[in-house]
Amino acid sequence: LCTAMAGCGGTEETSSPATSEETSYSWDELTQDDSETAAVDTSEEVVIDPENMYRSELTNEWIDKSIQDQRPVAIMVDNEKTALDHYGLTQADIVYEVMNSTANGEITRFMAVVKDWEKITRFGSIRSTRPTNFMLAPEYNAILIHDGGPFYIDPYLGNPWIDNLSGGFARIENGKPREFTEYVTTGEIAKRIEANNIDREYNSYYEGAHFQFASKANPVKLESKSDAQACSLVDLPFPHNGSELEYDPASNTYLYYEYGMAHVDPENDNKQLAFTNVIIQSALCEQFDENGYMQFNILNKSGNGWYITGGQAIPITWQKGMDTSPTKYYDSEGKELTLNTGKTYIALVSQTRWGELVLK
């Protein structure tokens, strides 16, 4: 499933499962006219059919009830500038941004958690994973999708709660080096899950819904809290790509920027990546070797953080048990956070960089 890589800044070697052949395509060959891939309108103004819809455990938005028991996937997305544009990320319900290496300007990588993955037409480009992601994906009982990884992930592959699909996804000719050409495309996930005999529905390792949500009719308003502060900009201490989230009052979301540009999704009408909820966690980073391979130590740990929504921010704490245990977030009074309905961005920030985080 995985092989060692030469170095954090170099080309990654991958191994493909015996159940799938790697094939190169042009994007025109993979494009399909499929009305099923249209984005679901989750606004409260649409007519809701409660017999055929339910509120997503990841966003609290109304979605198709037929996938209520379907496990999400967690897709590793390369965040090197050469990998842009990213395709499909606006279809993610939760996006993690996590340092991938202490080398190469402490480059980050995305882990995109997607519930309704059958609507994926093109997602990525995908890249290798790290140990931290094997601690985070099980919180959602998610199937981790990646292309290989360093040998440091080997101990996690044997855990019975880990299901993953490594390598062998479609290669799309885009004029870039090979490591930036692999994407999840239409129908691949379902075929790979079946071929690898992976549970499609939540299994015994699922510990239940991750978050508690407020309704759109009665949203969380942080300004009512004594320790709240105005927050229209989140400037993250990620030196490689300069991640920022800017509050947009019109949509009541935080718009994502990196490399000095708006992060847009060509696969979904060039929508900008946007989040109702932003959570920033401080965590201890452990470097493994001189190549920059590392992990965040988050199992049976706790720490500080921020919860940001609606143009306001409050200090929080977080706590996590074992791999399958959802990370819990608490306000300064010790009450578990209630999130607003919508998508969530979560960043893990090294304790050594925590003082460089800017909220204003």
Where residue 105 falls among pLDDT bands split at 50, 70, 90? confident
Cα distance between residue 153 and residue 4, in whole Å: 9
Residue 246: pLDDT over 70:
yes
User: Model-level pTM?
Assistant: 0.88
Distances 53 to 63, 119, 208 between C-alpha atoms, Å: 5, 16, 19
Q: What value does the mean pLDDT take over residues 147-159?
A: 94
| Alpha-carbon distances, residue 186 vs 20, 36, 120, 147, 242 (angstroms) | 15, 11, 6, 18, 32
pLDDT band at 287 (very low <50, low <70, confident <90, very high): very high
Give the tokens for residue 299.
């199992």
pLDDT of residue 30: 44
Where does the pLDDT of residue 46 fall: very low under 50, low under 70, confident under 90, or very high at 90 and above? low
10 or 201: which carries more pLDDT confidence?
Answer: 201
Provide the mean pLDDT of the chain. 89
Q: Whole-angstrom Cα distance, residue 289 to residue 291?
A: 5
